[in-house]
A and B are shown apart, each in its own frame.
Chain A
Amino acid sequence: MTAQDWRRAWAVAWKDLVSERRGKTAFNAMAFFAAIVVIVFGLALGPDRPSFVAGEETLLQYLAPGLFWIAVFFAGVLAVARSFASEIEGGTLDTLRLYPGDRRALCVGKIVANCALLIVLEIALLPMVAVLYSVDLWSRLPSLMGVALLATVGFATVGTLFAAMTATLRAREVLLPVLLFPMLVPLVLAAVKATTLVLRGDMMGELAVWITLLVAFDLVFLVVGTLTFEYVLDD
């Protein structure tokens, strides 16, 4: 991509973020849904301390990393779907397609916008998880945000590609999660493992492996995603 393409990508991201800030259509639905998921997990699993959990942790404290990421990824599906649904509803996808320059700019712009949206969601959701599940997140916030950033880039990349693919199809509400979640298996494992290790301490030095996997996942799908994006969009 040339410098001009990067400016184009930035323009697409900026446009998405401005319209999201003004309308908040995706964010409100997504944040509310994520909050409900966190609360429902709390109700379903209960605040007790079952005997099989080692140490002094409650079940919710023990499961907090997994529950947090499930809430983020479920809500994230709404966000990536919305980023193309709004273009189609407004009839603006064709306009975007007609702009000159590299198609990859459009893809990168959408990924950046979706990333930003998800990071804001995570920032809003972390205190909620900390309070409701009584987990001590604050002392480890910087490394936690590092892990979150890597996982979010991967999710936004694959999510944007598959959302673009399913945006014009019938039954897209079903197809997007069905296609997306199997692809995200490595990301879910790595994000949950890395978060657990950050919160609970990394005694065996395993964290580096999961960070490597997150970085590798991000890089592979940033390359593959941007390269295949033009085939997904062209008509």
Chain B
Amino acid sequence: MDAARIGGVAGVAAIPVLAAGLYLGLAWAPPDAMMGNVQRIMYVHFPSWIATAIGYVVALVGSGGYLARRSPRFDWLAHAGVEVGVLFNVSGLVTGSIWGRPTWGVWWTWDPRLTTTAIMLIIFTGYLLVRAFIEDSETRARVAAVVAIVGFLNVPIVYLSVRWWRTLHQIQSSPETVAPEMVVALRVMMGAFALLAVFLVARRYELARLEAAAEAAEDRVDG
């Protein structure tokens, strides 16, 4: 199955799931006992991290595949994964910050998860920056792949180091301790965001393929 097909299926499927998830999260699930309606941002916040993880894992697979096979398809996949990952990384950080202000009283704390995800965003934004500065498509794919792999491997080390540096964070709730409606709404939204991520990665992959074709055509005209 080609990328356009996968993207189309995921995109069409994402619409009703996203609509259902929004209804469940915003209207059907009860407000939080302590935080009230503020807590509902969690239905966007946590799924954003699922989508971020999908994006970056796709990028890792694409980058490893590129170095092993040297096929531009893997490079397009890696580029698409990073862009989608960065998008949802920003969405996760912003929604988390908005939630943190009324709940913790601050927009930002140097908690391990916050710090690690911010560093992750900087590392993968660096990936996009490097790509923008290399004209030769093979060099670009090669260097970008190394940046993505090394950057991905660094994330758990960053997390460990920041956790040892600052050990004052709250533990996330487990499904047993929250209202079952909340769990259902969150699961549906996680599914919706996963579909959305797959859709966006597939679209970006198609775009990268077309960009490469345009670049090749341009070279033929110039040459």
Contact = CB atoms under 8 A, between A and B. Distances in A.
Contacts of B27: none
A213 B142 contact: no
Interface residues of B, number: 27
Interface string A175-215: 10011001101100110010000000000000001100100
Given A170-B133, A171-B133, A232-B142, A182 B126 contact: yes
Nearest to B153: A224
Given A186-B157, A193-B165, A179 B133 contact: no
A165 B133 contact: no
Contact of A165 (B143, B154, B160, B165): B143
A232 B145 CA distance: 9
Given A186-B157, A224-B153, A231 B123 contact: no
A206 B150 CA distance: 28
B35 interface: no
Given A169-B133, A178-B129, A186-B154, A213 B160 contact: yes
A92 B134 CA distance: 22
Given A169-B134, A182-B123, A189 B165 contact: yes
A214 to B, nearest CB: 10
Nearest to B146: A228
Given A209-B164, A213-B160, A231-B67, A183 B146 contact: no
Q: Taking each of A186, A190, A220, A221, which has the highest tally of chain B beta carbons within 10 Å of its own beta carbon?
A: A186
B133 A189 contact: no
B198 to A, nearest CB: 27
Contacts of A216: 157
Given A165-B143, A165-B146, A224-B150, A217 B157 contact: yes
A234 B164 CA distance: 38
B158 interface: yes
Interface string B127-167: 00110011000010011011101110110011011101100
Interface of A: 158, 161, 165-166, 168-171, 175, 178-179, 182-183, 185-186, 189-190, 193, 209-210, 213, 216-217, 220-221, 224-225, 228, 231-232, 234-235
Interface of B: 67, 119, 122-123, 126, 129-130, 133-134, 139, 142-143, 145-147, 149-151, 153-154, 157-158, 160-162, 164-165
The list of the 8 closest CB pairs from A to B, nearest first, reads A186-B161, A182-B122, A189-B161, A182-B123, A186-B157, A179-B126, A228-B146, A185-B158
Given A225-B150, A232-B146, 8 more contacts: A165-B130, A169-B134, A170-B133, A186-B161, A189-B162, A193-B164, A213-B160, A224-B153
